Amino acid sequence: MSGTASIENGKKGGRPKYHTKAEIPGINLVILTPVQYNSLLEKYGYELLKKALLILENWLKFSPKGSKYAGKNNYGHFRSDGWVINSAKTKN
């Protein structure tokens, strides 16, 4: 493992040491790193990801349960069988 990879991926390939946030227009509460955002963009496409981001943003803003996840990385909410993606697929 090179020195650059260990800095980018954390000590043992886990979390990055530095916290970067992807700047997503119109989305303030959903936190993703640029690498995570690009990965989701490749996996789901722009339209579906935008719908999913808006659904999660509203949930974080208005749900009492959502406030627990505000200010944390939200990558785990975008599973292909998760409620955020399924809601985005059924939304017109």
If you ran DSSP here, which 8-state letter would residue 31 be given?
A: B
Residue 2 falls inside a structural domain: no
Q: What is the structure's pLDDT at 11?
A: 53
Q: What is the structure's pLDDT at 52?
A: 95
Distance from C-alpha of 8 to C-alpha of 29, rounded to nearest angstrom: 24
Number of domains the chain contains: 1
Chain centre to alpha carbon of residue 84: 11
pTM of the model: 0.76
Average the pLDDT over 35-40 and give the result: 92
Residue 11 falls inside a structural domain: no
From the list 42, 61, 41, the residue with the least C-alpha distance to 51 is 41
Q: What is the residue range of 70's domain?
A: 19-90
Residue 86 falls inside a structural domain: yes
Model confidence over 51-68: pLDDT tens digits?
Answer: 999 999 999 999 998 888
Residue 12 falls inside a structural domain: no
